[in-house]
Structure 1
Amino acid sequence: MGVLALVSAVGIAVDDRVLVGVPIWTKPFKFSVSFIAYALSLAWMLTLLPRGRRAGWWAGTVVTVAGVVEMALITLQVIRGTQSHFNQATPFDGAVFQIMGATVVVLWLGALVIAVLLLRAKILDRAMAWAVRLSSLIALAGAGVGFLMVRPTPEQLAVENPPISGAHSVGVPDGGPSMPVTGWATTGGDLRIAHFFGMHALQLLPLLLIVLTALAARSARFQAFARLADEGVRLRLTLTGSAVYGAVFVLLAWQALRGQALLAPDGATLAGAAAIVVAGGAATALSLRTTRTGRTASPALTEEVAA
């Protein structure tokens, strides 16, 4: 994947072909970078399993193989100068997209097995346990948004045997005005936003806990971080962060499905965002409260703080 990301970056620079409104090598570049982050996160999570590592290894292998097949087919279509996703222009293109759809289902099922293993695992650090569990579940939901993209649009349904069946955008055609770098639609909804945000919970939620733990280790020097040395506080903040992240994911998906651009929210979207901010802020304040009977910092963290 790393080699493909490098090749795709070079392709963006030297190949002037444009497909669906963006440089033709943009898709394999973004997908390869995303797969690298996704695979590394899953591999790290599998090391946390006290039991079921063999099943986890097989599930991880399935995810990896499915990802490689997916990227090979995307790259093949780029070389051919045609669209990979939703393409039914020829029998060959249709067969490629069907295989891609099958590999995505297999990849999703492999990730589901890993999520179930994490849910059942007895990980000693409770905050880390819930960070990886909830991030894997949100990532599954984020990946599941991709299944909504294969639905034909009303315009496509009005045509017999359309060459393209399915779309990233809602309410506007793919390839229209878009944001730089991401390519997300600016005049209508775009399901890729929720897809991207949901899948990267796999990295961002564990990262939140890592930051909290790092700050807790400095509580002896900085009194402002003292409460983070309490394991119960870190657990509650992790649960709060996960709930807020999940709520934002749902809001982004809802906004896109209504054909609304990310940067042009209506009153309902703004009200939803405000509710998330208020509820998240209140939950964060409550999470920071310590109790006399609550758990204190773990022995490892206590030693680190004392040092």
Structure 2
Amino acid sequence: MLTSPPQPTPPLPLRWLRTLWQTHPPLLISGLLFAAMVVFFGAGILLDGRTVLGAPAWLKPTKFAVSFVIYNLTLLWMLGFVEGRPRLVSALAWLIVATSLIETLAIAGQAARGTTSHYNTATALDAAVWSVMGATIIVLWLTHLGITLLIVFQRFGHPAFALSLRLGLGITLLGLLEAFLMASPLGQALASAGGVSSPVALAGIAGAHSVGVADGGAGLPVLGWSTEGGDLRAGHFNGIHALQVLPLCAWLLTRLRLSVPQQVALVRTAGASYLAVMVLVVWQALRGQPITAPDALTAAVFAAIVLSAGASAVLIWRRPSPARAA
């Protein structure tokens, strides 16, 4: 009896792409489009010698394109775990597509004009672009909240993995929210309360990411975080990447001979420690300290977080584990 030969299994990257495509094709296409933008804007850095606030004009669009490649594809992967509610999943995915594209194109448009995008109200056009960006950021945050709630109420077979997704989404929600400090007088008020003079209010500027110094000074390579004063972007960056870090931690834990309660406890410890570091970095920035020059108090708090996390991990690891007993 003749039998058909077994069908070859697609390589792992192709299987991932197929799964992502089945979840929401437009969101996958947007991730690939942002990857193309990275190349295009990166070429602008090499070919266009203009600078904005001391950095290459096309550096900010490039960084945002990279960020949205990671963010959009991560959310697409997470939405693939949601069972049912296809219309709601599709609506949320479309909102991610729209908001990320509007935000990046606005930044790129201002870069092409040789001016800043964030907090810029110098002209009617600049103010209109900044207003659109501000509204887009709010819609993006609310969309992320909706996705977080979907994952919170979704049933999963593995408790530690489920917890990592929920903690990652929740901490990222706070990291996104922290960005509103940069466009709000509240950030300057908090900085002044910490004994640091806020940046001088300039005509045509509706916010700042630096504390104690003007935006655009000396900063870390590529990231640009101030090395002269506080910089709220560090906490924002830290927060939004909990979305990738905590699920990765959970995946690594599943490779170890640990019981499910141990894995859950370790993920909980990782999430609490990650959140504590994010809060510390924001607090450091609001006190006018560069990320590269923490004072003794900041260093002591960071050491306490690391030691607490390490001690908790050791205690959890040493618990009797059915997997080890076997």
Partner of 1:87: 120
RMSD: 1.8
Q: How far did residue 53 of structure 1 move? A: 4.1
State the shift of 1:22 in Å. 0.7
1:28 alignment partner, one of 48, 54, 61: 61
Tell me the residue number matched to 2:111.
78
Is 2:297 the partner of 1:256?
no
Q: Which amino acid aligns with 2:229?
A: G
Q: Give the corresponding residue for 1:302.
A: none
Tell me, yes or no, if structure 1 residue 246 matches structure 2 residue 280.
no
Tell me the CA shift for residue 202 of structure 1: 0.4
Q: 1:128 aligns with which of 139, 149, 161?
A: 161
Q: Is the 8 A contact 1:56 1:113 kept in 2?
A: no
| 1:33-78 superposed Cα distances (whole Å, 9 cap, x missing partner) | 0011011111111111234343222112112211101111111111
Q: Which residue of 1 aligns with 2:304?
A: 275
> Quick check: 1:60–1:111 contact (8 Å CA) kept in 2?
no
TM-score, reference length from structure 2: 0.82
CA distance in 1, matches of 2:90, 2:247: 21
SS at match of 1:272: helix
> What does residue 67 of structure 1 align with?
100
Choose which of 184, 201, 205 in structure 2 pairs with 1:164.
205
Report the equivalent of 1:4: 37
1:210 is the counterpart of 2:251: yes
The residue identity in structure 1 corresponding to 2:230 is G
TM-aligned CA deviation for residue 151 of structure 1: 2.4
Q: Does the 8 A contact of 1:171 with 1:188 survive in 2?
A: yes
Partner of 1:189: 230
Question: Where do 1:289-300 residues align within 5 Å?
Answer: 289-291=318-320
Please state how far the C-alpha of 1:291 moved relative to its aligned partner: 3.6
Runs of 5+ consecutive residues of structure 1 not aligned to the other structure: 217-225, 298-307
Q: Return closer, same or farther for 1:50/1:289 CA change in 2, 3 Å cut-off.
A: farther
TM-score calculated relative to the size of structure 1:
0.87
Aligned mate of 1:142, from 175, 180, 183: 175
SS class of match (2:183): coil
Q: 1:240 to 1:151 in 2, by over 3 A?
A: same
Task: Identify the residue that residue 138 of structure 2 maps to in structure 1.
Answer: 105
Answer whether contact 2:95 2:143 (CA < 8 A) is retained: yes
| Residue-by-residue CA offset, 1:64-104 (whole Å, 9 max, x unaligned) | 21110111111111111111111011011001000000000
Q: Is the 8 A contact 2:227 2:291 kept in 1?
A: yes
Q: What is the CA distance between 1:164 and its match in structure 2?
A: 1.5
SS in 2 for 1:149: helix
Q: Please name the residue that 1:52 is paired with.
A: 85
Shift of 1:156: 4.5
